[in-house]
């Protein structure tokens, strides 16, 4: 009895089956990749939202303790707080937009926001301890602003893959403002250190 390979009997069918399997494998891996990218984007959007919310709460707490009362400090930090509120609103709008256009899960963004806000608040309390002074409060603002810049840098790279000019413009412009926040903090820390030396 002669044995025929499937390829010899049905070459056309065989080719179609193999091609279809390969196409299906590629499609599945692309979908998995897209899903993974989407989850990373949801997480990062939640992180920047959580940091912006924690920043506003931190300024309120530090102000209430009189740790930002020095001349020039309060005005600048209050300005950064206002901008943090503006960033929060713009990212909220971006999440809404991307939920519609890219199918982002806003619930997943909210979970990441809540987790990040809690972590940032815990970090501040651990860093400042029981009896912080104003220079420690300024140092912490610098750390927090540095964290914001890093997260927006990552988000900026992630949104480059989205064909939506509004998304890339929003993240890019917030990133530029966050860099200015960090520079402001560096200048305040320098001024504070120079006056106490
Ligand atoms: Fe900021």
Average pLDDT over every residue of 28-36: 58
pLDDT digits (tens, 9 = 90+) for 1-20: 555 555 565 666 657 766 66
**Residue 136 Cα, ligand 1 centroid: separation in angstroms?**
17
pLDDT digits (tens, 9 = 90+) for 137-173: 999 999 999 999 999 999 999 998 888 899 999 999 9
pLDDT over threshold 90, residue 26: no
**Token pair listed for 16:** 């179609």
**Residue 148 Cα, ligand 1 centroid: separation in angstroms?**
6
Contact assessment for residue 104 and residue 98, using Cβ atoms and an 8 Å cutoff: yes
**Residue 13 Cα, ligand 1 centroid: separation in angstroms?**
61
Contact assessment for residue 143 and residue 82, using Cβ atoms and an 8 Å cutoff: no
Tokens 């750390």 belong to residue: 143
Give which of 37, 39, 19, 40 is closest to 29, Cα–Cα: 37
**Residue 37 Cα, ligand 1 centroid: separation in angstroms?**
25
**Residue 145 Cα, ligand 1 centroid: separation in angstroms?**
5
H-helix or E-strand spanning residue 137: helix 134-159
Burial track 7-29 (b if 16+ CB lie within 10 A, e otherwise): eeeeeeeeeeeeeeeeeeeeeee
Give the chain's length: 197
**Residue 82 Cα, ligand 1 centroid: separation in angstroms?**
9
105: left (phi over 0), alpha (psi -120 to 50) or beta: beta
pLDDT digits (tens, 9 = 90+) for 81-137: 999 999 999 999 999 999 999 999 999 999 999 999 999 999 999 999 999 999 999
Contact assessment for residue 161 and residue 86, using Cβ atoms and an 8 Å cutoff: no
Say yes or no: domain 40-195 is CATH 1.20.1260.10.
yes
Domain ranges of the chain: 40-195
Contact assessment for residue 182 and residue 149, using Cβ atoms and an 8 Å cutoff: yes
If you average pLDDT over every residue of the chain, what do you get?
A: 88
| Residue 35 pLDDT level (bands cut at 50, 70, 90) | confident
**Residue 41 Cα, ligand 1 centroid: separation in angstroms?**
20
**Residue 115 Cα, ligand 1 centroid: separation in angstroms?**
18
pLDDT recorded at residue 29? 45
Average pLDDT over every residue of 57-62: 94
């Amino acid at each position: 009895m002669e044995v025929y390979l499937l390829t010899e009997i049905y070459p056309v069918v065989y080719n179609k089956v193999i091609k279809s399997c390969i196409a299906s494998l590629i499609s599945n891996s692309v979908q998995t990749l897209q899903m993974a990218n989407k989850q990373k984007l949801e997480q990062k959007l939640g992180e920047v939202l959580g940091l912006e919310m924690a920043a506003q709460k931190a300024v309120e707490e530090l102000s209430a303790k009189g740790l930002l009362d020095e001349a020039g400090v309060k005005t600048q930090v209050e300005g950064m707080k206002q901008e943090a509120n503006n960033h929060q609103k713009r990212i909220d709008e971006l999440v809404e937009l991307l939920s519609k256009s890219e199918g982002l899960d806003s619930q997943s963004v909210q979970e990441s926001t809540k987790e990040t806000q809690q972590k940032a608040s815990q970090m501040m309390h651990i860093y400042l301890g029981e009896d912080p002074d104003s220079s420690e409060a300024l140092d912490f603002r610098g750390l927090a602003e540095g964290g914001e810049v890093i997260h927006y840098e990552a988000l900026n790279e992630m949104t480059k893959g989205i064909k939506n000019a509004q998304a890339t413009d929003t993240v890019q412009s917030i990133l530029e403002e966050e860099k200015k926040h960090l520079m402001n903090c560096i200048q305040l820390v320098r001024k504070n250190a120079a006056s106490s030396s």
